[in-house]
Amino acid sequence: MPSAGPRQLAQRAAFGRRVRDIRLRQGLSQEDLANLSELDRSYVGGIERGERNVGLDNIYRLAEALGTDPVTLFTHLDDASDDGAIRISTERKKRA
């Protein structure tokens, strides 16, 4: 399998920042989120640091533990992105 490129790494980092932002707004620790989602605390930390390529089942677990739906974890990723590398848009780019 090919390794992750810069775009994939930026997407993971933005997703992790979004998860962290929602977790902190709810006053949860990483350990709380791990327990609620039945995931290992170090795995949750890896997600938040953008080190993990999170699978669909675990996205659903995180969303349920955070009291939200999976779509919410993907909205406003550009707001959570420090470097602006990820831009989520509802418009499709026109192909030349």
Which contacts qualify for 50-57: CB closer than 8 Å, 24 or more apart? Answer: 50/9, 50/12, 50/13, 50/14, 50/15, 50/16, 50/17, 51/12, 51/16, 52/12, 52/16, 53/4, 53/8, 53/12, 54/12, 54/15
> What does the pLDDT look like over 22-35, one tens digit per residue?
999 999 999 999 99
pLDDT at position 77 is: 78
pLDDT at position 30 is: 97
% of the chain with per-residue pLDDT over 90: 74
% of the chain with per-residue pLDDT over 70: 78
> What does the pLDDT look like over 36-66, one tens digit per residue?
999 999 999 999 999 999 999 999 999 999 9
Global pTM value: 0.79
* 10 and 86 Cβ atoms separated by less than 8 Å: yes
Q: How far is C-alpha 19 from the geometric centre of its chain's CA atoms?
A: 5
